[in-house]
Structure 1
Amino acid sequence: MPDELDPTPYDALLLLSFGGPEGPDDVVPFLENVTRGRGIPKERLKEVGEHYFLFGGVSPINEQNRALLDALREDFAGHGLDLPVYWGNRNWAPYLTDTLREMIRDGRRRIAVLATSAYASYSGCRQYRENLADSLAALEAEGLELPRVDKLRHYFNHPGFVEPMVDGIVRSLADLPEEVREGAHIAFCTHSIPTASADTSGPVEEHGDGGAYVAQHLDVARVIADAVRERTGVEHPWQLVYQSRSGAPHIPWLEPDICDHLEERHAAGVPAVVMAPIGFVSDHMEVIYDLDTEAAAKAGELGLPVRRSATVGADPRFAAAIRDLVVERAATERGQDVTPCVLGGLGASHDLCPVGCCPARAPRPAAAGADSPYA
């Protein structure tokens, strides 16, 4: 195998995702998993689950992860990268602990982990690391010999993640009526999180207003907007907006909300908006409900033409980016000099999450970081 495609020391890749229900009977148990420890009554969970029941109780995320698994296996095989790919979820089958147990029984000793979250934040990074630590602790209690797990770096600014989104926005602009196309604005959408979580996202030295979470989104939004201008010849104004807020109303979350933004843009005379969900890897529930259903309905009320651009999903360029991340990290672990592939002004994220990075409200063990109990 050529050095550039050598995965050593890794003997497997784990795709680690959120999970979602795959039928009506799964919805409340899934939400119980998501909200475990928060004391939320089952009746309230049924209300929250209405979003899922609108789509037959099925979240598209699991099927989209299956498509990404197929794309990864096809890409790896096509490039001679002999690395098996597994899949485990935080909140639904296949559960992370079960997948790690399978990997151990298959003899996997050094595992690269790709989380389906591209940016720094507690819920998008450290919580996955806590899940890994919880699973490793459970498997250690079973008497199994634990593998080493290494979480791959954030990939928000990798070309294989960015370029499919550029294409999606250009297609969405072209799909708008010609008379409103040139004046369309772009709303770069991502998941809202509490401002306190945003402010402490990323390494300690990056903490501040919005932390790494906001800085990373703004950086990639600028890159995409510049690329769209180069492709179309038009400077489309843009703004970073948020969606999918949950939790107590008295706790500040990142704003503006996408629906409020659409109202404001319409009042300002903007003729059309393209909603670009840059904060999401695939078209899962937050995208198909909060954007395709709720925000689209708001735009319909306003008489504002909108289009929603595609997420990267299982785009072959994203699969190639993941291959690149694996090979890059493997070379680093072997002590080789590596030039990471990134766009924008922030450079490549850290390979190893430092102490104090995206802290939890209550400290918990987290794997794959400088403070990990599992070296």
Structure 2
Amino acid sequence: MTYDALLLVSFGGPEGPDDVLPFLRNVTRGRGIPDERLSEVAEHYYHFGGVSPINAQVRALIAALRGELSAHTIHLPVYWGNRNWPPMLVEALQRMRADGIKRALAFVTSAYGSYSSCRQYLEDIAAARAAVGVDAPIVDKIRHYFDHPGFITPFVEGVQAALPSMPANTRLVFTSHSIPNSMNDVSGPSGARYTDQHAEVARLVAEAAAPHLGWDLVWQSRSGPPEARWLEPDVNDHLKVLADQGVEGVIVVPVGFTSDHLEVIWDLDNEAAKTAENLGMAFSRVATPGTHPAFVSMVRELITERTQGVPARHLGKVPTFDSTPEGCCPARRPPIPPR
């Protein structure tokens, strides 16, 4: 297949205090969440000056990608569109159409398959194309990449770097964004659920970085009504269990995230770190891939899989797939977005 652009698609985030509530309204549009509840969540953003680091990190990734593509003589302009905050997807597709782009590959800053991390992005792209109308560029999403070496390597190196400063009785704690159980119960065409994919990533990182340590997969950042069932255990609850078992230190590995955005720096660096401190446990949090050279190279490899037929690289045993066919990653009920 021939493509004439790369579209980087991300979640988006506020870039100042005045952006916070409008951003949260975008995230929760149509779900009837009152401003009182949004104001509570907004305090997390105000703690950091009303700025989520995600947009700055996407800009850094785009700059790194442009250099990577140029160095390998891949002549694709890179565009950027967000789900919830400018630059929005519609704006990106309008610019692409004006520039004469006919067909683009989309790289989404989510490595996994589920409704909110895959199918919803496809729906967003389809809605943006419909809004742009006639001659809107065709956009094909790049495959899930959770077990690609370029995604695994940064976490492996992060764990290895943390080990020397940790006590002997340390445990690896892998964490990702929780989703409703009903959403996890629906697998994509590969047959792998959200939890299966994460467990495979945790296994790959643990075996490569610290095979002598035990590990657990836990969840964070759940939202929605208390009566709804979401993936558990919560990272903070699990730290208390580990402390009761005599574990002296934890290396927290946020394998659910490609960059250190708000749900990493608030939920882990603030809340989980305080929980560990109160429990008397040593705490280290591994960095997300961000602009790690292996991660940037991975994006280039994912492009050449589709454009040049380069064989896909997989480290794991959980099946994935190259395309995102109709019906992949469905939701059994409307998702509740991240906070």
Q: Same fold (TM over 0.5)?
A: yes
Distance 1:77 1:60 in 2: 26
Match of 2:136 among 146, 153, 162: 146
1:341 matched to 2:313: yes
Quote the residue 2:10 is aligned against: 17
* Higher mean displacement: 298-307 or 27-36: 298-307
Distance 2:286 2:333 in 1: 37
Match of 1:235 among 212, 237, 259: 212
Give CA deviations for 1:184-231 in whole Å, capped at 9, x if unaligned: 10000000000000111322x72xxxx5211111111111111013xx
Give CA deviations for 1:282-333 in whole Å, capped at 9, x if unaligned: 000110000000001111111111100010001111111000000101134x
Distance 1:282 1:174 in 2: 24
Quote the residue 2:276 is aligned against: 299
The question of whether the paired residues in 2 share the 8 Å contact of 1:188 and 1:240 is answered with yes
CA deviation after TM superposition for structure 1 residue 362, in Å: 6.5
CA deviation after TM superposition for structure 1 residue 40, in Å: 1.3
The question of whether the paired residues in 2 share the 8 Å contact of 1:192 and 1:245 is answered with yes
The question of whether the paired residues in 2 share the 8 Å contact of 1:151 and 1:351 is answered with no
Match of 1:83 among 76, 79, 101: 76
Quote the residue 2:175 is aligned against: 189
Q: Secondary structure at the match of 1:312?
A: coil
Q: Percent identical across equivalent pairs?
A: 53
1:311 matched to 2:323: no
Quote the residue 2:51 is aligned against: 58
Match of 2:227 among 239, 243, 250: 250
The one-letter amino acid paired with 1:165 is F
1:213 matched to 2:206: no
Quote the residue 2:337 is aligned against: none
The one-letter amino acid paired with 2:93 is L
Q: Secondary structure at the match of 1:49?
A: helix
Give CA deviations for 1:68-126 in whole Å, capped at 9, x if unaligned: 00110111111111111111100001001000110111011110000000000000000
1:328 matched to 2:332: no
Distance 1:95 1:40 in 2: 22
Distance 2:292 2:317 in 1: 24
Quote the residue 1:95 is aligned against: 88
Quote the residue 1:354 is aligned against: 325
The one-letter amino acid paired with 2:35 is K
Distance 1:171 1:16 in 2: 30
Distance 2:108 2:49 in 1: 26
5+ residue gaps, structure 1: 1-7, 333-337, 364-375
Distance 1:49 1:235 in 2: 41
Give CA deviations for 1:332-367 in whole Å, capped at 9, x if unaligned: 4xxxxx5211101124x222223432213479xxxx
CA deviation after TM superposition for structure 1 residue 174, in Å: 2.2
Distance 1:346 1:360 in 2: 21
5+ residue gaps, structure 2: 335-339
Distance 1:355 1:89 in 2: 22
The one-letter amino acid paired with 2:285 is R
* Count of matched residue positions in the alignment of Structure 1 and Structure 2: 334
The one-letter amino acid paired with 2:141 is K
1:275 matched to 2:219: no
CA deviation after TM superposition for structure 1 residue 64, in Å: 0.5
Distance 1:341 1:320 in 2: 12
Give CA deviations for 1:17-60 in whole Å, capped at 9, x if unaligned: 00000000000000000000011122221111111010000000
The one-letter amino acid paired with 1:351 is D
Q: Secondary structure at the match of 1:155?
A: coil
The one-letter amino acid paired with 2:274 is A
Distance 1:153 1:196 in 2: 23
Match of 1:200 among 176, 186, 192: 186
Distance 2:50 2:242 in 1: 33
Q: Who wins on radius of gyration, i.e. which is larger?
A: 1
Quote the residue 1:335 is aligned against: none
Q: Secondary structure at the match of 2:269?
A: helix
CA deviation after TM superposition for structure 1 residue 249, in Å: 0.7
